[in-house]
Amino acid sequence: MRQFIVVGLGRFGTSVATTLANKEHDVLAIDIDEEKVQEISNQVTHAVQADATSEETLQKLGVDEFDIAIVAIGSNIHGNILATLVLKELGVSHVVVKAQDNLHGKLLSKVGADKVVYPERDMGARVANNLVSANVLDYIELAPNYSIAELIASDKLTGKSLKELDLRSKFGVNVLAIKSNDDVNVSPEAEAVINANDVLVVMGQEKGLSQLKHY
Ligand code: ADP
């Protein structure tokens, strides 16, 4: 099991920390606000009241022993950037940081953030994509212009094998999994046949995914 530090226990940080803890990972949750620490204390391995911008404090907490840190300080941008810098200085190998906008994200990369996430922006895009097409169940952007989508198989797709459909050459899309009722066929072979009401998990560029949605 991996060891995680979560800094900032607002809505996002709390959700990250409790989800990791529910998956049996070791989680050290840190917030400057004692009340937030109390609220989460029986759901994670350790919860500590501390100012994450203090190098000395984080050092005493032994943060260098942890594999991954998530900086989820939101509105306090100054604290968010400083905490990122301090965690990197102390040698945490992978630091993931929540950013407010692109400029903030750029700055975070410059101070050493290994990954920058934009939860509000990404969730907004995901919800919008789910709303605009009835057959799209879920949508995750992997990189600009590249996504994974969950689609309900249209009539044109059902009763045919992946080989016959040849979605890769038609739409540049790879089928990662086929879900039928409670069964999931991960990395389906070319002979796998799509049945009515199956859900396809597909990966590709926006253009190809959009063509497949309307196929
Ligand atoms: P969200 O939008 O996810 O709810 P918030 O910005 O409201 O995020 O919450 C961020 C949390 O980060 C708050 O609980 C706040 O007390 C905490 N926080 C802010 N600055 C620091 C800091 N320097 N060290 C530790 N925690 C901090």
Domain residue spans of the chain: 3-117, 122-213
Contact 49, 37 (CB under 8 A): yes
Residue nearest to atom 26 of ligand 1 (CA): 31
CATH architecture of 3-117: 3-Layer(aba) Sandwich (3.40)
CA of 1 relative to ligand 1 center, distance in Å? 26
Fold (CATH) for 122-213: Alpha-Beta Plaits (3.30.70)
The arithmetic mean of pLDDT across residues 58-66, rounded, is 95
User: In Å, how far from its chain's centre is CA 185?
Assistant: 22
CA of 65 relative to ligand 1 center, distance in Å? 23
Q: What whole-number distance in Å separates Cα of residue 70 and Cα of residue 113?
A: 10
Check if the interface score ipTM surpasses 0.85: yes
CA of 127 relative to ligand 1 center, distance in Å? 25
The arithmetic mean of pLDDT across residues 10-25, rounded, is 96
Strand order across the 3-7 sheet: 46-49, 26-31, 3-7, 68-71, 94-98, 115-117
Q: What percent of the chain has pLDDT over 90?
A: 83
Q: What's this model's pTM, rounded to 2 decimal places? A: 0.76
Contact 14, 78 (CB under 8 A): no
Most ligand 1 atoms within 8 A of CB, residue of 32, 39, 75 to mutate: 32
- Long-range CB pairs of 10-16 (<8 Å, 24+ gap) are 10/36, 10/72, 10/73, 10/74, 12/72, 12/74, 12/98, 12/119, 13/70, 13/72, 13/73, 13/98, 14/39, 14/40, 16/70, 16/72
Residues touching ligand 1 (Cβ under 6 Å) are 7-13, 30-33, 36, 51-53, 72-76, 79
Instruction: Categorize the per-residue pLDDT at 214 as very low, low, confident or very high, splitting at 50, 70 and 90.
Output: confident
CA of 15 relative to ligand 1 center, distance in Å? 13
Contact 203, 177 (CB under 8 A): no
Q: Tell me the per-residue pLDDT of 92-147, one tens digit each, with 9 for 90 and over.
A: 999 999 999 999 999 999 999 999 999 999 888 888 877 776 677 788 888 889 99
Shortest-distance atom of ligand 1 to CA 75? 6
CA of 140 relative to ligand 1 center, distance in Å? 26
Q: What whole-number distance in Å separates Cα of residue 151 and Cα of residue 130?
A: 10
